[in-house]
Every structure is written in structure tokens, then in C-alpha cells.
Amino acid sequence: MSTTVGIVDYGMGNHASVEHTLRDLGFRVRISADAAVLNETDVLLLPGVGAFPSAMKALHERGLVSYLQEKARSQSKIIGICLGMQLLASASYEHRYTTGLDLIPGDVMPLPDAKWHIGWNTIECVKTSPLLQASDGHPFYFNHSYVYRGPDEYQIGIARNPQPITAIIRRGNVIGLQFHPEKSQAAGKELLRNIITGLIHA
């Protein structure tokens, strides 16, 4: 039976492109904010485009904050992409201080000099992980002006702009990608496949 990925629908996110990529990779996809539907999936994926405070408000309104926290406690597999990765953190200072899901300790801070990190960039693996084999030397697409700052133990991949920027974080079965694998051509698709299958067989 093929793996089913549950895209968490909280009203903000690039669902269509993520769904298309996942289906291209042979995964089944469910898009829902309903816990009963999401519970029938193998991996939860938290997409996101927009502002952190609005995203957390939307998650609270749908009862998804406590749901995702409980799923993480029960060792469920969770992937966050771009804003979805930032939501995994303890808090953000985007516009104002806002608490996050707190699945991976750390805060989301503005990039220096209010700069955006937009475009293609390679990733350096700072911790060995079989999940990241497809990332070696390939460029991935970034588009963000805030970045995760947290304990080194959770940072497994960085990009440079030119200063180091956290690109991949992981705590147990929860992993976050600051870039967009669904917009990163063949390398992005292969990396997403590796991460999902690696989490399933962990």
C-alpha cells in the first residue's frame, strides 16, 4: 500500500504545487483540517506562505495547534515547508511576538538588515543524515525574510546568504525545510521523496 501524506489545511499554503509534487512521486494525498481525516495518513505536511501570526491564528481557530502537538508527542511524522517549518519553532518575532507550535525549540527572527533570501542556493549538511543524500551539491529555491535560530543540535542543514542560514531542522520525527522542495525541480522532488520514505522507515 502506498504512503499517504496528509497536507494540513489551515487556509494558508501552496497546497496545489505541493500536492502535485507528492502525487508525481507516487504518494497518495489528503488535504484537510479534520483530525479524523489526518489521522488516516502516514505523514503530516505543514505547508505555508504568509505571515507567522496569521498562520498561528488560523491553526488555533481550527483546533490544529493542540492536535499537532499531540501528534508530535506520539512520534507521528511531521514535515514543515517554508512558513510551515517556522511554525514548528517555539516563537516568532515577525511583526510581533507570537508563540509557535514549539515542536522544535528555537525562535524565528528577521534576517539581518531586513533582507530577503530569494532564489537558488545550495545546502551544506552539518549533520550526517541519510534523509539528505539528495541535497548534496544541488540548488534549492528559497523565498523568506525570517529564519530559525535555535540550538545547534536541531540544525542539520544550512545555506549561506552569505552568512549561515538554517535550511533544515529536525527533532525526532519532526523535520522542517526552509526552502521549497516542490519548486526545486528534480533535486527537490528527490529530497522530498527521501525524507518521507526515510521517516516512514525510521
Residue with cell 514549539: 102
Residue 73 CA to its chain's centroid (Å): 17
CA distance 65 to 70: 9
Q: HEC states along 22-38? A: HHHCCCEEEEECCHHHH
Q: What residues are annotated to the active site?
A: 82, 180, 182
List, in sequence order, the alpha helices (H) in the chain: 15-24, 35-38, 52-61, 64-73, 83-87, 185-200
CA distance 174 to 99: 18
Residue with cell 501524506: 5
**What cell was used for 143?**
523565498
Residue 192: other Cβ atoms inside 10 A = 25
The closest alpha carbon to 87, from 135, 41, 50, 62, belongs to 50
